[in-house]
Amino acid sequence: MAFDEQVKHAQFLRLYVAHEESLLSFVRTLVPLREDAREVMQEVAVALWQKFDALDDVTNFRAWAFTVARFKALAWLRDRKRDRLVFDDDVLELLAEEVSEHVDAYEAERRALESCVKKLDAAQRKLLDAAYAPGARMDALAIAAGRSPMSFYKALHRIRMALMDCTQRLLAQEALS
């Protein structure tokens, strides 16, 4: 790899890694499943690198990357229009708009989430850890825990909602201080 190419690649990696989580969250809002988001993100990463030369000003990387991610996600969804969970185009556009216009707010919520997870009790953290482990299957986890899948989903939902309340409180306190 030529020196210029190495410099460019290093610059791209720094930018990509810095914004990867935001982009993943954005894509996740548009596609039905967590695995789908990871699949789209692989295409996004490749497209960003391939088009990186076309980016005039690296300070615009985030906005540019969101545009590419939006395009890639919508193209991916077009091929899966018959999937029962895919939203209509107009709703997808509205969701994309919501996230891309409030990137900083969602990023702040992700930052606050770490503190909120630490406030959960041991049983809640254990449940989260099991539910989000690579390859985890909710039905198998529920059976192993001696619960019905529905009660497992509900417990997980309550924890997520508690975390969302917590992040909002933390961010509100930050705004006041």
Closer by beta carbon to other proteins, 56 or else 84: 84
Q: What DSSP element (H or E) covers 80?
A: none
CA distance 166 to 68: 32
Residues within the interface to other proteins (CB under 8 A) = 1, 6, 9-10, 13, 16-17, 21, 24-25, 28-29, 32-35, 37, 39, 42-43, 45-46, 49-50, 84-85, 87-88, 90-91, 94-95, 98-99, 102, 106, 109-110, 113-114, 117, 122, 125-126, 128-130, 132-136, 138, 153, 156-157, 160-161, 163-164, 167
Asked if residue 14 lies in contact with residue 43, where contact means CB atoms within 8 angstroms, the answer is: no
Nearer to other proteins, 25 or 74 (CB): 25
Nearest distance, CB of residue 1 and other proteins, angstroms: 5
Q: How far is the CB of 176 from other proteins (least distance, A)?
A: 20
Question: Which CB, 55 or 164, lies closer to other proteins?
Answer: 164
| CB within 8 Å of 29: residues ≥ 6 apart | 95, 96, 98, 99
Min separation Cβ 19 and other proteins, Å: 13
Q: What residue type is 139 in one-letter code? A: D
With vertex at residue 33, the alpha carbon angle to CA 137 and CA 100, rounded to the nearest 5 degrees, is 140
- Cα gap 99→54, rounded to integer Å: 24
Considering the complex, what minimum distance in angstroms separates the CB of residue 146 from other proteins?
16
Cα 107 from Cα 73, distance rounded (Å): 20
DSSP annotation of 74 reads H
Closer CB to other proteins, 74 or 130, in the complex: 130
